[in-house]
Amino acid sequence: MKHHNGLKTAVLLGAMSAIVIAIGYAFGGSTGVLIAAVIAVGMNAYAYFNSDKIALRAMRARPVTEAESPQLYATVRELSQRAGQPMPRLYVSPTMQPNAFATGRNPEHAAVAVTDGILRLLTPAELRAVLGHELSHVYNRDILISSVAGALAGIITMLANLAIFIPLGNSDNDRPNPLVLLLTMILGPVAAGLIQMAVSRSREYEADADGARLTGDPLALASALEKISAGVDRMPARADSRIAEQSHLMIESPLRGGGLASLFSTHPPTTQRVARLREMARGVVR
């Protein structure tokens, strides 16, 4: 599964790179492509090296000591040692919505955060299963992949914004091309949504399976996902909130809604994730 997902990601990113080059050349020639690429890659390089700080700040997460959260430390230390990986930094967010996420560009710079809501909701076995899922994201280098996908989406958005300044046809006036304006409003968000949907959904399934193998308890993760999903249903985040900006990192999307919101969801349906975990517990290989 891991190799198949890696191949699909490589194909996706290669295809999107080709589209970026084609659009950039059509709108602004080689100069337009170069300018957009340099700016977008620079911005995303900053986001990549500071991804943990950005995410933790958005969630208002604070670092916790072992004296404050001995059980949390004991669980993460046990799982890290089982995986043969370094101990990540641990944070707690005051958010009452039950959720958790991991961030950092590699295991040596990783951080795992949980919300107050999830600490109050889950049993120790369920919380351990969630932590196994989040650690698996770190070990699978999912943050790196998300950063590359984000860079491509940023380049596409930048090209669309530069296209505003292209005049309409051969007219002497400087009115923008209506088609270009339409692309400006649609192209960037759609490209970003498609990239995140294609990359993140497969990564969630993989982290579920790897986390269940790490903890040896797929049913605990299935139970935790059901509780977390129900908790998010009761208190969904606003689409314009800072929490929503980090939705792709969460174990469960903090947003709720249909239509385009569900089309571009970065998470597969919870029912499908739970079904896979239960099949895994029965020894059924998908």
pLDDT digits (tens, 9 = 90+) for 1-24: 555 545 655 665 666 666 666 666
pLDDT digits (tens, 9 = 90+) for 84-122: 999 999 999 999 999 999 988 789 989 999 999 999 999
CB atoms within 10 A of CB 149: 24
The sheet that has 89-93: what strands, in order across it?
A: 62-63, 89-93, 111-115, 100-103
Distances (CA, A) of 196 to 126, 137, 210: 27, 15, 20
Distances (CA, A) of 157 to 43, 72, 121, 198, 200: 13, 40, 39, 18, 19
pLDDT at 156 over 60: yes
H-run or E-run covering 49 = helix 2-49
Q: Alpha-carbon distance 93 to 252, whole Å? A: 15
Secondary structure, 3-state, 119-155: HHHCCHHHHHHHHHHHHHHHHCCHHHHHHHHHHHHHH
pLDDT for 234 equals: 93
Helix, strand and coil content of the chain, in percent to the nearest 5, comes to 70, 5, 25
Q: When comparing pLDDT for 74 and 145, which is higher?
A: 74
Q: Alpha-carbon distance 28 to 162, whole Å? A: 8
Q: What is the pTM of this model?
A: 0.77
The share of the chain scoring above pLDDT 90, in percent, equals 42
Catalytic, out of 134, 204, 206, 252:
134
pLDDT digits (tens, 9 = 90+) for 20-33: 666 666 666 777 67
pLDDT for 170 equals: 46
Contact 247, 253 (CB under 8 A): yes
Contact 274, 226 (CB under 8 A): yes
CA-closest candidate to residue 111, choices 69, 55, 46: 55
Q: What is the mean pLDDT of residues 140-149?
A: 72
CA-closest candidate to residue 33, choices 165, 161, 159: 159
226 has catalytic annotation: no
Distances (CA, A) of 154 to 14, 37, 38, 151, 214: 15, 9, 11, 5, 35
pLDDT for 68 equals: 95
